[in-house]
């Protein structure tokens, strides 16, 4: 059985990666990115949501603002980049790597709530 969280990401890093994974599925802000290595599967996320109030919308999901503090934290982005899960263009954009897209954070059900309006 694979180890849960094999890269030992902390809670903030897991939450932020979960948001990047969700953002990568939104057509208006994510598109395939050609990596210099030639490896397929990189996704450019070109717009970061700016949480305001107690929640914000992420595609069809509602996310609590408190779960998104890592989007504005450069050290979180750099940690994810060191672990080769993203390529940081902080604070404007990032490239989600295939490893980042595939990483099981275990946070999606806790953080991404279906919007009902």
pLDDT in tens, 51-109: 878 999 898 899 999 999 999 999 999 999 999 999 999 999 999 999 999 999 999 99
67 touches 15 (CB < 8 A): yes
pLDDT, tens only, 17-63: 999 999 999 999 999 999 988 999 999 999 998 887 899 989 889 99
Rounded to the nearest angstrom, the gap between the alpha carbon of residue 84 and the centroid of all alpha carbons in its chain is 13
62 touches 113 (CB < 8 A): yes
Kindly report the CATH number assigned to the domain that includes residue 87: 1.10.10
In a domain, 3, yes or no: no
- pLDDT for the residue 34: 94
Element (H, E) at 93: strand 93-96
Mean of pLDDT values over 8-13: 97
In a domain, 61, yes or no: yes
In a domain, 5, yes or no: no
7, with CB counted inside 10 A (0-12, 13-18, 19+), is middle
Whole-angstrom distance, CA of residue 19 vs CA of residue 59:
11
- pLDDT for the residue 17: 98
Structure token pair of residue 60: 């069809």
The answer to whether residue 3 scores a pLDDT higher than 80 is: no
């Amino acid at each position: 059985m694979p180890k849960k969280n094999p890269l030992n990401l902390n809670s903030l890093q897991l939450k932020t990666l979960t948001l990047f994974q969700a953002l990568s599925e939104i057509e208006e802000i994510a598109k395939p990115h050609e990596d210099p290595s030639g490896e397929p599967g990189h996704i450019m996320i070109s717009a970061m949501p700016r949480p305001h109030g107690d929640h914000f919308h992420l595609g069809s999901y509602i996310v609590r603002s408190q779960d998104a503090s890592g989007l504005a934290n450069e050290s979180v982005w750099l940690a994810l980049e060191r672990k080769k899960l993203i390529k940081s263009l902080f604070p404007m954009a990032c490239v989600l790597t295939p490893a980042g897209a595939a990483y099981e954070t275990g946070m999606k059900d806790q953080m991404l709530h279906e919007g009902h309006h």
